Amino acid sequence: LSSDRDGLVFVDIEIRGGNIASITPVEDQAPSDLTEVDLDGGMCWPTFVDIHTHIDKGHTCERTRNMSGSLAGADDSCAKDEVFWDHDDVYRRMEFSLKCAYAHGTSAIRTHIMSGPVQGAIAWPVFEELREAWRGRIELQGVSLAILRFFRDEEAGAALADQVKAHGGILGAAVSCTDRGGHPDDVYTTCGE
């Protein structure tokens, strides 16, 4: 393919079954009865993949602002915001995140899901509903968000693992020595070193 002075190439892209079937230079275009979408010389780019999000916690700053802008402030704001969480609230906020991401060209999102007893019981079922509703537009992957020391309680840890598995998620945990995460007494962290 020959490019212009900016390294760009004018091509026709044939899509079949949601996949690229061919890419041909515009000058080699053969007559076709396929449906055409004229991009008028516009650019075609792959979609975005967002690998670290928190869509269940988004769009809450009007009601529980993080005044310090810190991770500890975010944790505190999220804990305070829990009183507003119900199925409809979480669904609305998560779906708004997906609509915005999709409108800006995102096709895959990996999101942490709050996994404490109250928020997790609400957010995981909503995650599963939205993953199915958006299948084919955005591939959605959920990862549990709990602090590592949560797993000291083996029964609670096993219950969380079961919940995450039931909703098709991935079991995860956060470690932070400075903000409500790891603890210096934990043998599985490097806190204090």
pTM of the model as a whole: 0.78
Q: What is the DSSP string of 96-129?
A: HHHHHHHHTTEEEEEEEEE-SHHHHHHHHHHHHH
Torsion angles phi and psi, residue 102, rounded to 5: -65, -40
Q: How does pLDDT run across 67-109, given as a tens digit for each residue?
A: 999 888 888 999 999 999 999 999 999 999 999 999 999 999 9
CB 112, CB 119: distance < 8 Å = no
Q: Helix H segments across the chain?
A: 71-81, 87-103, 117-133, 154-166
pLDDT in tens, 27-48: 777 777 888 888 888 888 889 9
What's the pLDDT tens digit per position in 3-34? Answer: 889 999 889 898 888 889 989 888 777 777 88
Residues in the chain: 193
